[in-house]
Structure 1
């Protein structure tokens, strides 16, 4: 009887952890290539705070689920000029784009020029919202087309690739 109770408790805990803390997801699409590839299986978590350059999973009103990288946080002004990210006028490095830039844009801009003012009709990202971009900048539907993502739309943050095994890694 004692073993049966322990088994039942374990099953309940697994469902709680899987359903509310760590959620598996399969990547569908190429907008995050080279960092996340079509068919990668990832773990997302809901508990930690979202920071710049985190990869998040969110749902939009169109019913689709998206996986993108957070570039801008609430209250910030984002500018891309000459393939360089500026946050509130300060240059920010995007080391996660190095391979993509080498392969896809060795002699031209990988990310088209824009400002939050021109895309969002407001200078700064609104409160409780994020500006997101795909790492595959030329083939990504992201905040440049659908605007900011409200924190209520965020499903979780990608923390690990667990399959395929040769790509297993913790996402920082």
Structure 2
């Protein structure tokens, strides 16, 4: 009888362990996943080697931070969504203009002392040949405009290449932060 109780207890613990691992793997595969930031293209929002949690079930909106498959490399990039399908995008005198409306960009670190233009003038058509972001695509920019390889260089990103939206920085611990859209 005693051996039978031990066997039941071990089977119970084994079931709990296997269930926990299964739930964790399902969550990581379909709901959220940790990602390590590589590079400085999103500075000061993210720094190199920050660890973030990416939601795989979020609806992508303008100004969200997304992780996506890099166009010409076997890695992932993190950038900010600027243009959604149907949007016109323009940068004029360091002012972002989407669908004719000017937007402040508090997340772009500006250096008032040197008065350097952070982003060159462009229109979506200049960069991609498209007047509006086509269906199934998005236009992205890094927050560190002087040091970001983004849609200004490789064009539009297929929405199907989006891995997910960054929701939470978990490392370094002193910089832990939940991210929400600044225009919601």
Measured against the shorter chain, the TM-score band is over 0.9
Q: How does 1:68-79 map to 2 (within 5 A)?
A: 68-79=79-90
Q: Structure 2 residue aligned with 1:15, among 25, 30, 51? A: 25
Q: How does 1:20-169 map to 2 (within 5 A)?
A: 20-62=30-72, 63-97=74-108, 100-102=109-111, 106-169=114-177
CA 1:132–1:61: 2 relative to 1, 3 Å = closer
Counterpart CA distance in 2 for 1:155 and 1:128 is: 14
| Structure 2 residue runs without a partner (length 5+) | 1-10
Give the CA deviation at 1:150. 0.6
Per the normalisation by structure 1, the TM-score is 0.93
Give the CA deviation at 1:106. 4.5
Match of 2:4 in 1: none
Moved over 3 A (4+): none
| Structure 1 residue runs without a partner (length 5+) | none
Deviations 1:19-69 (CA, angstroms, capped at 9, x unpaired): 221111111101001110001011101101001110101113422311100
What's the C-alpha RMSD, in Å, of the aligned pairs?
Answer: 1.3
SS of the residue corresponding to residue 30 of structure 1 reads coil
Q: Which has the larger radius of gyration?
A: 2
